[in-house]
Amino acid sequence: MAIILRLDRVMADRKISLNRLAEQVGISTVNLSNLKTGKVKAIRFSTLNSICTVLNCQPGDILEFTLDE
């Protein structure tokens, strides 16, 4: 996939746990874990908005585009 999720890196920089972020964003830890590990095909803008609000970051800090080879 050409979009890589860098949520784990941003979470580590902010020193926030999966459980705490899930609670503050309002999604299950399982869904957030799937986002963190890149096992999803889509993300809702409302979820991305909440994650960026809690982590005080931009969507580009979490999402990275690379060309498929």
| CATH class in words for 3-57 | mainly alpha
> What is this structure's pTM?
0.89
Nearest-angstrom CA–CA distance, 40 and 53 = 21
- The residue extents of the domains of the chain are 3-57
pLDDT of residue 1: 60
Contact 44, 37 (CB under 8 A): no
What is the per-residue pLDDT across 29-42, written as a single tens digit (0 to 9) for each? 999 999 999 899 99
Which amino acid type is present at position 42?
A
Taking each continuous run of H as one helix and of E as one strand, the counts in the chain are 5, 2
Tens digits of per-residue pLDDT, 9-61? 999 999 999 999 999 999 999 999 999 998 999 999 999 999 999 999 999 99
